[in-house]
Structure 1
């Protein structure tokens, strides 16, 4: 494979934030206390939008919530979440973009700051086998402990995790003639700056301004 195609997930391939929507889903089904959880979930989302989120603090909150429930129950809820929230939100333009890179025989990867429990079924829905996401810790029985394994997969951490993943295949970013990264957020400027073809996708205001200044391509997937 001569080319590498990287995709952020939330607000890039999806027109929503899967982590935030998962939290709202738990509130709707009564799995968590509506008032306290929804407010904290909203506060963290606002910090993410502002670029001030502490990823470790947020992941400990998110994974700690997951750890309150048996894995079997979590999997059942996630299947419901996919049916009610994720699948109805996926737009043809996003699936067609991914497929275009796959049909070109490129190495395709989704790389997201959201945890793997939430995102692995979503990546599978897009037909993408390769996923880098925040890794929850599991105990010997396969239950979530509420802890994060390794470092967060956000900001500069995306480069660290991508380099490790490529190294496991004896590759680097320079191994590819063309490397493309699609993202919506200024949080991903480090990785966007590292690839040969950065594409600001559905960009927020900060990334849109940066992309314009740098002469990067801009893509709007969800315009009706």
Structure 2
């Protein structure tokens, strides 16, 4: 039997969402003139709030605005390392570190499943000792990172599909695994329902209410 612990990233493990912070930090360090385009990114975010663009499209627009559509791999690697080091230094919940350590000590395989881009979330996961990463993938070609998502945005029902695909790729049958899943957001309800043990962590109002109705464990990694 495979014992697996799957964690969401933003606001489950980290104090704050990571995508916008990564964009701004990377632009400031490598392409500071692009920070002048932040108001346009704000317009795109408003478009998302008004349901004019979806989350995947929003990611692609903001990446193109702040990092361009042809970010060289060497620059990406530097930006990712710098950002991950900063998040690890002061952006991780103490409770998350403790839960990860406890799951590891119990012999569970530790997996990150996040809507964040895997190319930088993976660096954070590596520093925390994760075994595997499931995340949104980005198109790479000719030694450059493009402002286009490859495959699905790892969010909501798509996250569960990607977790199931990962299990299949690892040759693990669902009946041969016990899975616990930690998240802060109600968008992950499909995966919480699917997991053997569901944990609502630092839950916002809608998830806290759903967790109480479903009998899921509620945790606070801030304490």
Deviation at 1:171, TM superposition (A): 1.8
- 1:15 match: secondary structure: coil
Task: After superposition, give the CA deviation of every residue in 1:40-68 in whole Å (9 maximum; x if it has no partner).
Answer: 258639958x9997232123224433534
Q: How does 1:39-118 map to 2 (within 5 A)?
A: 40=41, 44=45, 54-64=54-64, 65=67, 67-118=69-120
Deviation at 1:153, TM superposition (A): 0.9
- 1:33 match: secondary structure: helix
Deviation at 1:96, TM superposition (A): 1.9
Where do 5+ consecutive residues of structure 1 fail to align?
none
Deviation at 1:35, TM superposition (A): 4.5
TM-score w.r.t. the length of structure 1 is 0.86
The residue number in structure 2 matching 1:213 is 213
Deviation at 1:4, TM superposition (A): 1.5
Alignment partners' CA distance in 2, 1:90 and 1:41: 26
Alignment partners' CA distance in 2, 1:52 and 1:107: 39
Alignment partners' CA distance in 2, 1:152 and 1:216: 25
126-135 vs 55-64, greater mean Cα deviation: 55-64
Where do 5+ consecutive residues of structure 2 fail to align?
none
Aligned residues: 220
CA 1:25/1:113 → structure 2, altered by over 3 Å: closer, same or farther? same
CA 1:38/1:210 → structure 2, altered by over 3 Å: closer, same or farther? farther
Deviation at 1:189, TM superposition (A): 0.6
The residue number in structure 2 matching 1:22 is 22
CA RMSD for the aligned pairs?
2.6
